[in-house]
Structure 1
Amino acid sequence: MGKITGTRYGSIAQFLHWCTAILVLVAFMYGPGGPEQRVYSSVHEFDRRLHETLGLCVFTLAVIRLLWRTIDARPEPPPVSRWMRVMATVVQGLLYMLLLALPLTAIAGAWLEGHPLALVAGVEIPPLLGASHNAGATFASVHKWLGDAIMWLAGLHALAALYHHVVLKDGVLTTMLPRWFPAGRARTDR
Structure 2
Amino acid sequence: MLKINPDRYGVIAQTFHWATAVLVLIAFIYGLGGNEMRVYDAAHDFQRMLHETLGMSVLALVVLRLLWRLLDTRPAPAAAPRWMRLASTAVHGLLYGLLMALPLTAIFGAWLEGHSLTLLAGVNITSPLPLAHALGQSLAEFHTLLGDAIMILAGLHAAAAIYHHLVLRDCVLKAMLPVWFKVWQPKKRWF
Which TM class, normalised by the smaller chain length? over 0.9
Counterpart AA for 2:54: L
Asked whether the 8 Å contact 1:49–1:118 carries over to 2, the reply is yes
Counterpart AA for 2:167: V
1:4 Cα offset (Å): 5.4
- 1:159 maps to 2:159: yes
Q: Which residue of 1 aligns with 2:109?
A: 109
Deviating above 3 A after TM superposition, structure 1's stretches of 4 or more consecutive aligned residues are none
Q: Which residue of 2 aligns with 1:141?
A: 141
Unpaired runs of 5+ in structure 2?
186-191
Determine the C-alpha separation between the residues in 1 that align with 2:60 and 2:52: 12
Matches within 5 A, 1:1-190: 1-3=1-3, 5-183=5-183
Determine the C-alpha separation between the residues in 2 that align with 1:28 and 1:89: 24
Determine the C-alpha separation between the residues in 2 that align with 1:47 and 1:4: 39
For the residue of structure 2 that corresponds to 1:77, the secondary structure is coil
Determine the C-alpha separation between the residues in 2 that align with 1:160 and 1:47: 32
Q: Give the TM-score of the pair, scaled to structure 2.
A: 0.95
Write the deviation string for residues 8-27 of structure 1: whole angstroms up to 9, x where unpaired.
00000000000000000000
Unpaired runs of 5+ in structure 1?
none
For the residue of structure 2 that corresponds to 1:130, the secondary structure is coil
Asked whether the 8 Å contact 1:59–1:99 carries over to 2, the reply is yes
Determine the C-alpha separation between the residues in 2 that align with 1:104 and 1:2: 31
* Pairwise CA RMSD: 1.3
Determine the C-alpha separation between the residues in 1 that align with 2:117 and 2:2: 34
Asked whether the 8 Å contact 1:2–1:72 carries over to 2, the reply is no
Counterpart AA for 2:48: R
For the residue of structure 2 that corresponds to 1:73, the secondary structure is coil
Counterpart AA for 2:66: L
Determine the C-alpha separation between the residues in 2 that align with 1:2 and 1:92: 23
For the residue of structure 1 that corresponds to 2:183, the secondary structure is helix
Q: Give the TM-score of the pair, scaled to structure 1.
A: 0.95
1:43 Cα offset (Å): 1.3
For the residue of structure 2 that corresponds to 1:115, the secondary structure is coil
Counterpart AA for 1:47: Q
Counterpart AA for 1:141: E
Q: How many residues align?
A: 186
Asked whether the 8 Å contact 1:32–1:39 carries over to 2, the reply is yes
